[in-house]
A = this chain, B = another copy of it.
Amino acid sequence: MIVVMEQDATADQIQHMAERIESLGLKSHVIHGTEHTVIAAIGEKREHMKESLESGAGVSKVVPIMAPYKIASREVKPEPTCVSVGSLSVGGGKLGVIAGPCSVESEEQLMECAHAVKAAGGTALRGGAFKPRTSPYSFQGLKEEGLKILAAAREETGLSIVTEVLATDDVDMVASYADVLQIGARNMQNYRLLEAVGNVDSAVLLKRGPSASMDELLLAAEYILNEGNQNVMLCERGIRTFEGHTRFTLPLASVTYLHHKTHLPIVIDPSHGTGHAYMVPDMAVAAAAIKTDGLIIEMHPRPDEAFSDGYQSLDFDMFNETMSRIKSMANNVGMTI
């Protein structure tokens, strides 16, 4: 860390900070600049030190040098992680395509989707049984009944199942039906839930919160990894900005950035990332063009009758066409689905 002192910091304040740095087990190194004095704090970083030093008398700011996460870091594990579970492989040259409806609405609806996903070449089936809804008056999901339908669809099609888990109490039950536990954007910093899914055998799909920084996302992953579960996929699903013509703003540079910083595989969600069905295919294809490790796409047999997210769901024709474009693009850039 670099501790930047205020321009009018006194010699006493500077000495005091140097001593505090040493008392934290770091070495201090004072540099007198033309207008400001800075103190380099050398040693293995631990997170709470930054905060502690920042409140020191005469301190202007503290600049961290090292990334705050460890196990997730590419510096620690340079080779990419591939998460493989049943029909789904994500990472290390494999492009996983997860598709299905926002909500499991009925056995019939889900089975239609499962067969369509399978036929088009998707590698996993998504579907929400526990739905976190902005309004208490909206449809909240079929709950365990929905999980049973998902398991039946796996039985019939062989597709791995991805579904969201909302609460620590449900982790074991959801894990008993599903292959991949999704942590939704609203729960990205629900640390108890992260710890809970860090202690099961299922893979985890961790969605970025709409205002989370990349460091916050990687530290959320670190909560899971730190409990022992190494099968973690990161999902970029868009951030909240002033843009009004898309539901969220989808920064595809996240693929490039995360591939640079972490060995964990990256999944792009073009459905929430745009919020409009007509934009979904392009964003899926653009992500494939830069070797995203996975895609998660909402589709529905009849979007205009969907219980949730119909406006961003592809119908089967659009989905089939999108899968063709994705497969062609994967082929072009040397990925296998």
Contact = CB atoms under 8 A, between A and B. Distances in A.
A279 B304 contact: no
Contacts of A133: 47, 191
A66 interface: yes
Interface stretch (A82-90, A142-150, A281-289): A281-289
A213 interface: yes
The binding surface of chain A is classed by DSSP as mixed
Contact of A190 (B40, B190, B306): B190
A263 to B, nearest CB: 15
Given A43-B34, A136-B226, A242-B242, A253 B250 contact: yes
Contacts of A273: 253
How large, as a class, is the contact surface on chain A?
Answer: 35 or more
A37 to B, nearest CB: 10
A302 to B, nearest CB: 9
Contacts of A158: none
A211 B192 contact: no
Interface stretch (A91-99, A110-118, A165-173): A165-173
Contact of A305 (B52, B240, B250): B52
Interface stretch (A119-127, A174-182, A254-262): A254-262
A4 interface: yes
Contacts of A134: 47, 68, 189, 215-216, 219
Nearest to A4: B65
A35 interface: yes
Contacts of A44: 34
A313 B51 CA distance: 11
A31 B42 contact: yes
A29 B245 CA distance: 26
Contact of A51 (B190, B242, B311): B311
Contacts of A191: 132-133, 136, 166
Contacts of A137: 46-48, 68
Contacts of A38: 2, 40, 65
Interface in A284-337: 285-290, 303-311, 313, 328-329, 332
A269 interface: no
Contact of A136 (B169, B219, B303): B219
Max chain B C-beta neighbours (<10 A), residue from A134, A239, A245, A308: A134
A241 B241 contact: yes
> 9 shortest A-B CB distances, which residue pairs?
A55-B310, A211-B211, A289-B289, A186-B189, A286-B286, A54-B311, A211-B240, A282-B290, A47-B135
26 contacts: A29-B31, A38-B40, A47-B134, A48-B137, A52-B306, A55-B303, A55-B311, A132-B189, A134-B215, A135-B219, A136-B191, A136-B222, A167-B168, A187-B190, A190-B190, A211-B242, A239-B243, A239-B249, A249-B249, A252-B282, A253-B279, A256-B278, A283-B290, A285-B289, A286-B287, A329-B332
